[in-house]
């Protein structure tokens, strides 16, 4: 295994002159420094870095000469309206920018309040122009549960499942940033004993996932090797891949997901970099003794598993009106996946498929071994046969109009400062 680089930017004792970044419960201490894009007061898009409850304006830091040691290529990229150019510069440039910004924000440096704006009230945008989006199916627990539901008399996993990371090409145009309302879609539905109908979907679901943004891409006809893969991944976001289960069960044969998945996928606004996640990387993913051996091109050679804890909460409209706390549905971990993002990237490019900076790959639903770690309502309610009781006295088999779904995620370790990914949320609105 190649060692993961831990450097001065990860020092858990380090503090910032931004007071809120030093609070114990913050998602965004100086050891994190995730990247995003916000809209300024004149309506322009700027790259920002989250620090405590503030946003550092990267363009202002560059133009005011507060990052003088950065090469011109990096400085220019930090003044762009999206992260694509910066993502494409590669790992050495990302690390250089991280170190420079950490030094600027360090408690021993001069206070620069003019570079900050409050996170509250700041409009966040998609962090990158997403050219392509591919979603995988990397949770063995999720695939096993779904297989048992729909093939109770057969093997729950398909014959290829333990040999390669299964995925499908999603729809980049319907990836939206957290807080964007999600309209209930129409779809072609097939009642059990009747002809197909076209109407608003009934079995609307969420899927607890993470997404990884591609940084440095590869040319067509080349592939990304496993020892390169983690350094080609810029960072991760929380992802909710909204799903219409009644559309899915009618349309998915023989080519897989289509309209059931293309109407909305929500991501959190802050991209937590692989550099920031270095203290939370583990060897793996683990294989069972009886699992088939991996082909060489998929065999891990770096610490590819990300130990990220995630939680899903649901609040109905009446719960919010009554001031009731959201109900936690799921608590899981990204480390439960049986395929890593590095393996997904290596397999995706194994044919010579070109990837570009800002492309997004999704993990697929993250589920764990216990019921409370299942990552979607399809599993939690076992196809609606075991409804969930909400504090307002109602039940949920699938999502209803007015429901707000929120996913939070964070990393904790005894040797590192806790960091978070923020939140990813959306409210279901009625079909039009």
Catalytic residues: 142
CA count, 13 A, side-chain hemisphere, 134? 21
DSSP state of 386: S
Return the structure tokens found at 359: 């492309």
Q: What angle do CA 85, 89, 94 make, to 5 degrees?
A: 105
- Residue keyed to tokens 């704006």: 117
Type and span of the H or E element at 136: strand 133-136
Burial class (CB in 10 A: 0-12, 13-18, 19+), 154: exposed
CB within 8 Å of 398: residues ≥ 6 apart: 202, 203, 204, 205, 245, 377, 381, 384
Closest CA to 291 of 164, 167, 393, 191: 164
DSSP state of 235: E
Q: What is the rounded distance in angstroms from the CA atom of residue 218 to the CA atom of residue 357?
A: 9
CB within 8 Å of 181: residues ≥ 6 apart: 426, 427, 428, 429
Q: What is the rounded distance in angstroms from the CA atom of residue 367 to the CA atom of residue 161?
A: 16
Q: Locate all alpha helices (DSSP H) within 17-131, ordered by sequence.
A: 58-63, 72-78, 84-87, 91-105
DSSP state of 162: T
């Amino acid at each position: 295994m190649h060692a993961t680089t831990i450097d001065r930017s990860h020092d858990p004792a380090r503090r910032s002159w931004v007071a809120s970044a030093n609070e114990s419960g913050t998602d965004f201490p100086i050891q994190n420094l995730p990247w995003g894009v916000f809209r300024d007061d004149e309506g322009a898009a700027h790259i920002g870095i989250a620090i405590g409850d503030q946003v550092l304006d990267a363009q202002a830091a560059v133009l005011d000469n507060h990052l003088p040691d950065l090469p011109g290529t990096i400085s220019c990229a930090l003044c762009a309206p999206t992260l694509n150019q910066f993502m494409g510069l590669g790992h050495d440039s990302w690390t250089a920018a991280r170190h420079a910004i950490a030094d600027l924000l360090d408690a021993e440096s001069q206070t620069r309040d003019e570079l900050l704006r409050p996170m509250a009230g700041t409009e966040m945008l998609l962090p990158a122009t997403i050219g392509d989006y591919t979603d995988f199916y990397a949770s063995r627990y999720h695939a096993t549960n779904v297989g048992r539901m729909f093939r109770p008399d057969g093997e729950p996993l398909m014959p290829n499942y333990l040999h390669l990371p299964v995925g499908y090409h999603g729809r980049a145009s319907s990836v939206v940033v957290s807080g964007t309302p999600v309209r209930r879609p129409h779809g072609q539905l097939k009642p059990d004993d009747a002809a197909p109908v076209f109407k608003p979907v009934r079995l609307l679901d969420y899927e607890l996932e993470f997404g990884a943004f591609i940084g440095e891409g590869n040319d067509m006809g080349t592939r990304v090797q496993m020892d390169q893969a983690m350094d080609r991944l810029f960072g991760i976001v929380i992802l909710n891949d909204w799903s219409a289960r009644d559309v899915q069960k009618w349309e998915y044969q023989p080519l897989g997901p289509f309209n059931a998945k293309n109407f909305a996928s929500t991501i959190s606004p802050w991209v937590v970099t692989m550099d920031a996640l270095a203290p939370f990387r583990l060897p793996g993913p683990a294989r069972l003794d009886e699992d088939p051996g991996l082909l060489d091109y998929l065999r891990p050679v770096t610490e590819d598993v990300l130990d990220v804890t995630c939680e899903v909460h649901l609040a109905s409209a009446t719960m919010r009106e009554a001031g009731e706390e959201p109900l936690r549905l799921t608590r899981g971990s990204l480390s439960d996946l049986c395929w890593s993002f590095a393996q997904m990237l290596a397999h995706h490019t194994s044919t010579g498929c070109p990837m570009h900076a800002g492309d997004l790959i999704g993990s697929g639903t993250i589920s764990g071994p216990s019921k409370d770690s299942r990552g979607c309502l399809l599993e939690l309610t076992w196809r609606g046969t075991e409804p969930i009781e909400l504090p307002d006295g109602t039940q949920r088999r699938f999502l209803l109009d007015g429901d707000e779904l929120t996913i939070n995620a964070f990393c904790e370790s005894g040797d590192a400062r806790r960091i978070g990914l923020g939140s990813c949320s959306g409210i279901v609105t009625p079909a039009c």
